[in-house]
Amino acid sequence: MSFTLRSGLWSIRGYRSMFSAYALASFGDWFDALAVQVLVAYRWGADPLMIALIPVSMALPSVLFSSFAGTLADRVRQARLMMVCDLITVILSVAVLFAPNMYWLLPFLALRALAGVFHVPAQQALTRRVVPADLLLQATSYNGLVNQGSKVAGPLLGAVTLVALSPQACIVINMAARLLSALLLFGLRHLPKATSPQDTESPGAPAPSSGAGVFWTEWKEGWAYLWHHKKILNTIIFGFIGMTVILMIDYQFPTLLRTISPADEALTGQVVAAIGAGAVVMLVLLNRLNRISYGWGLGGGGALIGTGIALLGLSPPGSRSFLLWGLGFLLGIGNGMYILTQNYILQKETAPNLVGRVFGIQNMLISLVMLAAPLAGGLLIKAASAGQAFLWIGSAMTLIGLSGLLFRQRLWGRGSRKAESTVLPADAS
């Protein structure tokens, strides 16, 4: 049965093209992210507060435009929107490539992030359109495998590129990957923009609007739908709280690792790769099981993320690399559980013609956190130390995850553990 499902997924031509494009874009993004972090932390010697401004500048466009981008993604041809975003990313990467300092780099990163604001909900909406409901867990897990696999390959190959060439070479690789992504999406450009009639059969889904001047109405429909579907709302709120904690140190890994091993520029890439490897292992396991529990995935995943962060904070200067890799691997296992569960809930529980709007709202809320949390984390590190900040923040995330486990029935449905875990239709066996 599992083999039949996977074969069915790969027989969908549109999904193959979209998957390949997403894989290239994700791989390029991790190359680029590593290059920017190494450039500002090691080459420019930026302090933690300046480093914290990177996610802030990238989050501002999402706060301002994500919910509207989600509404647009539900109204237009998603593949064309994604192609345009890829091409704009390439153009703005040229500006990032030649940025001479942080004062030029930050606005260029913000403008480039604006393209990603429209790309993410379009990609999620297109996934929901081309993949049948009974194959969504496989599609979501494969997308997660791509993202986390890129986190392994991108930083490792990026570290080699950094040693042999420069951070700028990694940015050029990202540009090439985005161009290939746009080329793969070219074959999907004629998919109709309107959702099919069966897309509105989900309970509580509003009928598609038509005519001029309905954009604002559809934007409000997305918020109303979220408010009246508690399982989706609780997932987004739980994620919002968790991300508030995680994002305080998400961009501070180079700050911590340079205190542990000041001369090893490649260590950041290695630890990030270990995080990705842990997530890949967990995603492969969940894909093979073909079932997932909402409470254990979000709560348990959050607890493991927090434990890994706290133990990294306790690592003294001169710690062995393999120990840091192991802690990164543990963090990655939790991350794989958490990300797959969250994305699957939002895909599975949302009416197909509202997926873009729901993901747009989620991106906006997470980005709202990024305006304040990284700065708070930077201030915390300056007031205490990187290790102490990681310990405190990791401990807080562990408690949040354990709370999700304790209250999982109240958050995601009392007495519905079997229903929430099983994703195959009743007659699938």
Task: Check residue 91 and give its pLDDT.
Answer: 92
User: How large is the average pLDDT for residues 336-353?
Assistant: 83
Would 12 be classed as within a structural domain? yes
* DSSP H or E stretch at residue 230: helix 230-246
Task: Check residue 261 and give its pLDDT.
Answer: 84
Q: 181-195, 214-228, 269-283: which has the highest mean pLDDT?
A: 269-283
pLDDT at 428 over 60: no
Pick the range with the lowest mean pLDDT from 144-153, 234-243, 272-281, 372-381. 144-153
User: How large is the average pLDDT for residues 88-113?
Assistant: 88
Which among 140, 126, 111 is positioned nearest to 185, based on CA atoms?
Answer: 126
Both tokens assigned to 362: 């989620």
Calculate helix-pair angle for 136-164, 167-185, nearest 10 degrees: 150
Would 157 be classed as within a structural domain? yes
Task: Check residue 211 and give its pLDDT.
Answer: 46
Would 161 be classed as within a structural domain? yes
Would 203 be classed as within a structural domain? no
Q: Could you tell me if 174 and 29 are in contact, meaning their C-beta atoms sit under 8 angstroms apart?
A: yes
Which among 274, 248, 389 is positioned nearest to 336, based on CA atoms?
Answer: 274
User: How large is the average pLDDT for residues 309-328?
Assistant: 90
Q: What is the pLDDT of residues 3-59, one digit of tens each?
A: 444 457 778 888 888 888 888 888 888 777 777 877 787 777 777 777 778 877 887
Q: What is the pLDDT of residues 255-308, one digit of tens each?
A: 888 888 887 767 877 888 788 888 888 888 887 777 778 888 899 999 999 999
Q: Could you tell me if 66 and 358 are in contact, meaning their C-beta atoms sit under 8 angstroms apart?
A: no
218 versus 341: which is more confidently predicted? Answer: 341
What does the alpha-carbon distance between residue 147 and residue 210 come to, in Å, rounded to a whole number?
36
Which among 343, 311, 43, 301 is positioned nearest to 170, based on CA atoms?
Answer: 43
Which among 56, 390, 365 is positioned nearest to 239, based on CA atoms?
Answer: 365
Task: Check residue 421 and give its pLDDT.
Answer: 43
Q: What is the pLDDT of residues 224-257, one digit of tens each?
A: 887 888 888 888 888 888 888 888 887 788 888 8
Residue type, 81: L
Average pLDDT, the chain: 78
Would 200 be classed as within a structural domain? no
Domain count for the chain, please give it: 1
Task: Check residue 136 and give its pLDDT.
Answer: 77
Would 426 be classed as within a structural domain? no
Rg (CA), the chain: 21
Would 211 be classed as within a structural domain? no
What residue ranges in 3-61 does DSSP mark as E strands? none
Task: Check residue 75 and give its pLDDT.
Answer: 78
Band (154; pLDDT cuts 50, 70, 90): low
User: How large is the average pLDDT for residues 389-414?
Assistant: 88
Task: Check residue 214 and give its pLDDT.
Answer: 61
Structural domain boundaries enclosing 386: 2-189+216-420
Which among 70, 86, 81 is positioned nearest to 24, based on CA atoms?
Answer: 86
Task: Check residue 149 and give its pLDDT.
Answer: 65
Alpha-carbon dihedral 161, 162, 163, 166, rounded to 10 degrees: 100
Would 207 be classed as within a structural domain? no
- CATH number of the domain bearing residue 41: 1.20.1250.20
